[in-house]
Chains A and B, each alone.
Chain A
Amino acid sequence: MLEFSRRALLGTALAAPFARGAAAQEGPYILGSVFPQSGPNAEYGGVFTAGVQLALQHIEADKLLKRPIRYISEDSQALPQQGVIAMTKLVNIDKAHWTFAAFTAVSKAVAPIGDRAKTVMINGGAVGPDLSGLSPYFWNVIPLAHLETRALLPYLVGQGKKRFALVYVDDPLGDAILKELGEQLPKVGAELVGSFSIPRDAQQFGPVAARVRQVRPDAVYIASFGAQQSQIIKGLRNNGVSQQLCSYSAMNLASVGSLPEAEGMTFTVQKVDYAGGDALTRRFAEDFRRAHGKEPTVYNANYYNGCRLFGLLAHELEKTNTAVTGDSLKDTLHRLKKFPLVGGTGEFDAAGNMMAAIEVVQWKGGQLVKLA
């Protein structure tokens, strides 16, 4: 309800540059991430980091690169300002070769910094459609929301859902989804009958539920992320909203699946076949299970891919003794276009977006069930 994160101290950006120093040309490659490691979205930070770290282990085990890699994790708290501070530090002080971003609002805020410094930024978690083409150095290894809604909406309309209500978080992701639904629903013969904006730290959803019920939707689309998703689901369900709930890939969190109120929540994720896939995918899934004792999620795979992509591109550059810079990495990406990654061959378009297949899934008894 109130913007009240208690992170007024300018946080990690001012933290310890001392042990590090600038990277010499022949020192290690510097990879940095701007993930939420604290605050209500910290669960994502852990998931994203696990993917990056597994890829780092594999790159090292395979001796893919001549130079070592140093990985620096900065905390964005999923907030743009903290993200900007962290990114400034990674780019200007640590001289990172390659960075990882997440969250639409954070990605949009840090993109100009990476762009100015010609540092590659990889997004494997945020899905705001305007993240495409943000900068020549900003690449998405995740299908963006417009691809997700275009898979989800026809499915739900096929199930007889014609009237959609949208509960969306008041930030760039929410705004993007609002725009997307407004444009896409009429095309599939449905309509957006109401949209309800909520602040990022809102907690009371009783009144919102009352407004949602009043527009008599067939389905309610929730565009939020992190801890708030669970609160919205519970708030709506507890206050008489019994309609179909639907969303995008952010619902793919263990804490959402375990919520009894989330039963029947339908959303879209990327298609990754861990068991029947290629050797790379199986190795990723097996090592992930061994390390974490649970099934990998798509987010783990995305950031694994994002990190592996650096290994593949830098390997190419090392072969020709070319310096690893933002520009040489970019040129190599556009030259090769296709890369062996988890989930199959990843192909990038001219804007730096990786294409991927999407499937519709549902939470049922705490398990993810594939619908279409």
Chain B
Amino acid sequence: MLFVQLLLGGVQNGALYALTAAGFALIFGATKVFHVAHGSAFTLAGYVFLYGWTHNWNSLLSCLAAVLVAVAFGVGMERLVYRPIQRHEGSFFTVFVAAFGVSIVVQNLVGVFAGRGFASIDTPLSNASEVLPELFLADVFWVAILVALVMFVALTLFLSRTNAGVALRALAQNPDLLRAYGLSSSRLSMLAFALGSALVAPAAILSAMTTGLNEAVGNHVMLLSMASTIVGGVGSLRGAALAGLLLGVAESVVLVFLETQWASAASFLVLFGFILFKPSGMFGAAVAK
């Protein structure tokens, strides 16, 4: 039963990782920007929702505000940081350092204005009850899975059925071709950032209810999203999402065999192993050296 419990717990976290990872993969795939500040969008969205909740806003309004802030942050990063750097043809590493700087700023601003340390939302949703002997599940488990599924179906439909979505996928494959067809790659990058960042909001809101937030929570999100994108195979949204789920499950199930303090190393060992032995990831094309 312990295994099932840990597996289901892992699935709940993994569903959230899958969302943030898909956001990261969407941005990286379409724009080739290694968006290290992705976790900051998560932090901001979570804290905005928290603010709305503690000020008794309508919960729909709080969710909407969270999504909007995440999107605004993503688009702002694209406009104000990534694009100017890419205009200089700066290396990807320049982008990495710049984004890391932003995530430090966001973390500390949140600390100053929202207070440091643990903050969470008190809701019966996250309170587990015994559904089977020895098996505890909270309602938020179903909410997380449902939200993740709905978001993926919506995203897949958008990417395959709308012009903008198809263009976005084309941007990932061949930006020059896109330009030849007269499509604006600049508008499409903004769209990629907006969509990718919006994907973190539901995960941030659910995390505020379950594990709670702190100002540094985005770091873990960023690292896991990045790891999932690579383990899943760059360029594959489905791969990233599945890898996110896998890493969430790995983090949890590893406790069947190991002591609790080793949990956080598990996902990074998986990442390290993939890079050494299968750098193309689960679904990616072969990687050029």
Q: Decide if A and B touch, CB cutoff 8 A.
A: yes
The residue on B at minimum CB distance from A198 is: B260
Contact A210 B264 (CB under 8 A): no
**A271 CB to nearest chain B CB (Å):** 29
Chain A CB within 10 A, most for which of B104, B108, B118, B219: B118
**A170 CB to nearest chain B CB (Å):** 5
What total of A-B pairs shows CB separation below 8 Å? 114
Given contacts A198-B261, A211-B255, contact A40 B118 (CB under 8 A): yes
**Separation of A1 and B216 alpha carbons in the complex (Å):** 10
Contact A2 B219 (CB under 8 A): yes
Residues of chain B within 8 A (CB-CB) of A237 are 127
Chain A window 32-64, contacts with chain B (Cβ cutoff 8 Å), 1 for yes, 0 for no: 000000111111000000000000000000000
Interface-facing stretch out of A15-23, A201-209, A292-300, A336-344:
A201-209
Given B210, B216, B261, which contacts A4 in the complex, CB threshold below 8 Å?
B216
Given A209, A238, A255, which contacts B127 in the complex, CB threshold below 8 Å?
A238
**A267 CB to nearest chain B CB (Å):** 18
The verdict on A240 contacting chain B, using a C-beta distance below 8 Å, is yes
The verdict on B214 contacting chain A, using a C-beta distance below 8 Å, is yes
Given contacts A6-B104, A40-B117, A230-B118, contact A206 B13 (CB under 8 A): yes
Contact B219 A228 (CB under 8 A): no
Given A228-B118, A240-B130, 19 other A-B contacts at CB below 8 A?
Answer: A5-B216, A6-B216, A196-B259, A203-B214, A204-B263, A205-B211, A206-B13, A207-B10, A207-B252, A207-B255, A207-B263, A209-B136, A210-B5, A227-B116, A227-B214, A231-B211, A231-B212, A234-B120, A238-B138
Residues of A that sit less than 8 Å from B by CB: 1-2, 4-6, 38-43, 170, 196-199, 201-211, 213-214, 226-228, 230-231, 234-235, 237-240, 255, 260
Residues of B that sit less than 8 Å from A by CB: 1-2, 5-6, 9-10, 12-13, 104, 107-108, 111, 116-118, 120, 122, 126-130, 134, 136, 138, 210-212, 214, 216-217, 219-220, 223, 251-252, 255, 259-261, 263-264
* Sample of 30 A–B contacts (CB below 8 Å): A2-B220, A6-B104, A6-B107, A38-B116, A39-B116, A40-B214, A43-B117, A170-B261, A196-B260, A201-B216, A202-B264, A204-B13, A204-B251, A204-B263, A206-B252, A207-B6, A207-B251, A207-B263, A210-B2, A210-B5, A211-B255, A213-B134, A214-B1, A227-B117, A227-B214, A234-B120, A234-B212, A239-B128, A239-B136, A260-B122
